[in-house]
Amino acid sequence: MDLLRNSLIYMGQSAAAKRVVTETPLRGMARRFVPGETVDDVLEAAREANGTGLTVTANYLGESVKTEAGARRAADVYVELLERMHAEGIDGNVSLKFTQLGQEIGEAFLRENLGRVLHTAKQTGLFIRFDMESSDFTQRTLDAFEMFWGEGWREIGVVLQAYLHRSIGDVHRMNQLGARVRLCKGAYAEPPEVAFQERAEVDGSFVELMKVLLAEGRYPGIATHDEAMIRATTDFAKSEGIGADRFEFQMLHGVRRDLQTRLAEEGWNVRAYVPFGEAWYPYLMRRLAERPANMLFMAGSIVQETPFGFLWPGR
Ligand code: FDA
């Protein structure tokens, strides 16, 4: 299984493998996880999700942008996205990464470039979530967040990762500020100095942080597809008399759609994270590496989508 996972991670970085995926019916399969490359595509997926009782958070894929032109383009896309979500009555918000908007170029540039997006968010009354990247960026991300919070921006929130030892302190800090937190397990390979390594430890931390957020936080987002974590959350909310309007579940577009709609039907708030953009290929490879069983889904979609029945490797 590790061999398959490592191969998928390698494919995520290989130009030749990218051509195979982007120029074949595999592109169709990718649409399960990434509805398309344009703002139109993500808005269509958002409308569909709204129609099934889910709210959304839209993410323009990209990170570690090193050029001013690239970071400005990302800001332009977010400005257009927010304006159109507002104009078209989409029930949603956006998620972005500081490094996508120019954090690595410099603080002054980030303030100016992200400032445009923040102004649009304020005008449209929409919320911005700052995704969390690897532990090299945790402190920088939280510092940047507090800088913008200190300037008076309020409709902004962070992500904290249950696998990091430090997160309990960060949860208390965000609760003290009154800032909205998305809690997730954490997606990066982190060393034991900073992160729990065992699944049971990560899950234990997730439950502990979830309880503090539900009891003391401001409308936290509990981001997981793990039914044990979801059950722990609904059980805790019921036992403490915490209403369904005080928090939400969040899941990735295309992952456990059955669970997303079931929770929404039961009356819980559920938000789907819908990524879009030209950078869909490495994102797809990460989702496959997380759960290689998704390859089976991919095989099924090829059988349905190619006129030849099968895409044989020799073709
Ligand atoms: P876990 O990995 O234990 O999976 C539980 C079950 O979920 C699996 O058994 C399977 O059934 C299902 N599942 C999980 N992944 C799947 C997949 N790709 N395909 C199909 N089924 C799958 N991380 C981060 O570091 N920074 C961030 O900002 C965010 N943001 C974020 C937003 C949202 C809305 C979500 C849902 C997740 C994130 N993450 C994240 C990712 C998160 O840290 C984590 O890596 C994944 O959510 C997987 O962890 P689970 O909690 O789902 O549990």
pLDDT tens per residue across span 262-291:
999 999 999 999 999 988 887 787 777 777
pLDDT at 124 over 60: yes
Counting from 1 in the atom list of ligand 1, the atom nearest the Cα of 134 is: 25
pLDDT at 310 over 60: no
CA distances from 71 to 9, 165, 176, 305 (A): 25, 31, 32, 36
pTM for this one?
0.89
Count of C-beta atoms within a 10 Å radius of residue 162 = 26
Counting from 1 in the atom list of ligand 1, the atom nearest the Cα of 206 is: 51
Helix segments in the chain, DSSP class H: 2-13, 15-22, 26-30, 39-51, 68-87, 107-124, 138-150, 167-177, 199-216, 227-240, 257-265, 280-290, 294-305
Residues 67-96 have a mean pLDDT of 98
- Please list the active-site residues: 131, 182
pLDDT at 112 over 80: yes
> 179 versus 31: which is more confidently predicted?
179
Ligand 1, atom 47, lies closest to the CA of 224
Ligand 1, atom 12, lies closest to the CA of 225
Ligand 1, atom 53, lies closest to the CA of 226
Residues 40-54 have a mean pLDDT of 98
Ligand 1, atom 36, lies closest to the CA of 251
Q: For domain 32-278, say whether CATH 3.40.47.10 is its number.
A: no
pLDDT of residue 297: 61
**CA 73–ligand 1 middle distance (angstroms):** 28
Backbone angles phi, psi at 166, to 5 degrees: -75, -15
Counting from 1 in the atom list of ligand 1, the atom nearest the Cα of 129 is: 28
- Residues touching ligand 1 (Cβ under 6 Å) are 131-132, 159, 161, 184-188, 223-226, 250-252, 255-256, 273, 287, 290-291, 294
pLDDT band at 299 (very low <50, low <70, confident <90, very high): low
pLDDT of residue 70: 97
pLDDT of residue 283: 79
**CA 283–ligand 1 middle distance (angstroms):** 13
Counting from 1 in the atom list of ligand 1, the atom nearest the Cα of 97 is: 28
Ligand 1, atom 38, lies closest to the CA of 184
**At a CB cut-off of 8 Å and minimum separation 6, what does 270 contact?**
53, 54, 55, 248, 249, 250, 251, 260, 263, 264
pLDDT at 182 over 90: yes
Residues 189-206 have a mean pLDDT of 97
pLDDT of residue 139: 98
> 297 versus 115: which is more confidently predicted?
115
- Exposure string (b/e) for 267-300, b if CB count within 10 Å is 16 or more? ebbbbbbbbbbebbbebbbebbbeeeebeeebee
Ligand 1 pocket: which of 57, 164, 183, 184 to mutate (most atoms within 8 A of CB): 184
